[in-house]
Amino acid sequence: MNITWHGNASIALESEGTRLLFDPFVPLPGAATPTRPEVFHGFPNILITHGHLDHLLNTPALAKNGAVVYCTKTPRITLINAGTDASRIVPVAPGGTLSFGPVRVIALKGKHAKFDPPLVLRTLLSPRMLKYPENRALIRKTHPHFLEKGETLIFKIETEEKTILLLGSMALPPGIVTKDYARPDVLILPYQGHTNNLKYAIEMMRELSPRTVLLDHFDDAFPPASRNVDLTPFLAAMKEQRPGIKVIVPKAGEPIRF
């Protein structure tokens, strides 16, 4: 099984000939990971964790090229409004199970990180907001149409006798069912969304106890509204507090074999 990170929260999974794509997003000009759109072509199935701009913006074009999209009702409406044929969209809800050859995907209830006021102010007041005028115009125009509405999913992926837990945002719903979420072989963790990312990430390690953590969503993918997140505190804390958990910081476009 190979897992490839393509910047932001874009994850490609390949297992025994089956190829799945999660949350494809082509980073905006000036991004730290300049992934080309062609990277996402040819995937027959696309799964969406939630409907925000940086998880859904490029999906209508991919659906027009033949991909089938699996998502909840709010991103489905967004896609249809963007011109996507409804027949290319399969509704998904927590508790639903999807089968793709040898790969089984279970949709679990997720939660989106709540952007705290210091993080919002730091972003809005950053001098970087004066840069990238074309990106700012695109984000300002499209962001109001890409809504989440409390529908974030977590995908539990089972294949080759391994379990992958793929999160679309660094948050967990209250009262999670341990047997559904805990002890994955691989936790794909978006490391962004809070002023104190470390606090939330370490809490997740205690709750989920993964064997391996693969980080994503830590890069400056849509400047000036995003930034490169410093991973050093998390890596140091994991080495000290949870040395039995392997942490992988992927390089964009380079497959990781499990």
Q: What is the pLDDT of residue 178?
A: 65
- Helix-then-strand count for the chain, H and E: 8, 14
- The CA–CA distances, whole Å, from 158 to 78, 102, 111, 161 equal 29, 8, 21, 7
CATH number at residue 142: 3.60.15.10
In whole angstroms, give the CA distance from residue 210 to residue 199.
Answer: 17
Chain centre distance of CA 177: 21
- Is residue 87 classed as helix, strand or coil in its secondary structure? helix
Q: What is the pLDDT of residue 177?
A: 61
pTM of the full predicted structure?
A: 0.96
Per-residue pLDDT of the chain (258 residues; tens, 9 = 90+): 999 999 999 999 999 999 999 999 999 999 999 899 999 999 999 999 999 999 999 999 999 999 999 999 999 999 999 999 999 999 999 999 999 999 999 999 999 999 888 777 788 878 888 899 999 999 999 999 999 999 999 999 999 999 999 999 999 998 776 678 889 999 999 999 998 999 999 999 999 999 999 999 999 999 999 999 999 999 999 999 999 999 999 999 999 999
Domain range enclosing 39: 2-257
| Residues 31, 220 contacting (CB under 8 angstroms) | yes
Number of domains into which the chain is organized: 1
Mean pLDDT of the chain: 95
